[in-house]
Amino acid sequence: IATGSMHGDVLGPVHLGQAANSVLGIFPKQNQTHYGTQRFCVVGGDERVEFPTEKLLKALKPSLSKKLKQRVVMVLTASPIYSIDGIRHGMSVKSAEKKLRAGKAYRIGANTWYLLPNRGDDILIKTQGKIGREIGFIDKRLVASGGLVRFVSTFLNSGISL
C-alpha cells in the first residue's frame, strides 16, 4: 500500500499517534511482530511501524505513558519511493549532508540515527555506513522525554537488528 506520500507525521497510510488496531486493519498481512515492531511489505521496501514497549512506557512519565500506549510513536520506511526533503533510502550520507547537519546524530550500535527538527513531529533518518537505510517520523514527545536512545536501544538489546 505504498503511496509515496510522506509529510508532517504521515507516511503512506500510517500516521503518528494512530491506534494499533487501526494500523493492523490497513495492512492485509503483517510480516513481523517483535517488541512493539510491526513490519509491513510495501512497494520497493517495507514500512516499519513502532509502538512503545512496556519497558519504555514504564520509563516515561505516567501521563505521557498513558497517551502513547498502543499508539504509533515511530514510522520508518526503506522504500525508495518515499523521500523527505529530498532524502531517501539508498542515498549516500554525503549527498544528504547539508540536510543532516541541521539535525542531531545519535550513534547506536552499527547505525547512526539523525534527528531533524520538523514543523510537526521530528524526522528520523537511519544510516549504516555511508548509506541512508530508513527514513520516517518519530513522536516529538518521545524525543523530548529523552526516549529516542532508550527506544532504539530496546530493540538492539532484544537482539533485533534495526
What tens digit of pLDDT does each residue of 84-128 get? Answer: 878 888 888 888 877 777 778 888 878 888 888 776 778 888 889
Model pLDDT, residue 124 = 85
Q: Tell me, what's the pLDDT at 40?
A: 66
pLDDT above 50 for 54: yes
Backbone angles phi, psi at 39, to 5 degrees: -120, 130
What does the block give as the cell for 80?
525508495
Would you call 138 helix, strand, or coil by DSSP?
Answer: strand
In this predicted structure, what is the pLDDT of residue 33?
56
Q: How confident is the model at residue 158 (pLDDT cuts 50, 70, 90)?
A: very low
| Confidence grade of residue 43 (pLDDT, cut at 50, 70, 90) | low
| More confident of the two residues 155 and 3 | 3
Give the pLDDT of residue 151. Answer: 60
pLDDT of 9 > 70? The answer is: yes
Distance CA 136, CA 19 (A): 18
pTM of the model: 0.79
Question: For the chain, what is the radius of gyration of the CA atoms?
Answer: 15
pLDDT, average across residues 122-149: 81
Average pLDDT over residues 14-41: 71
Alpha carbons within 13 angstroms on the beta-carbon side of residue 51 total 21
First and final C-alpha spacing in the chain = 22
Buried b / exposed e along 55-80 (16+ C-beta atoms within 10 A): ebbebbeeebbeebeebbbbbbbbbe
Could you say which DSSP state residue 2 is in?
A: -
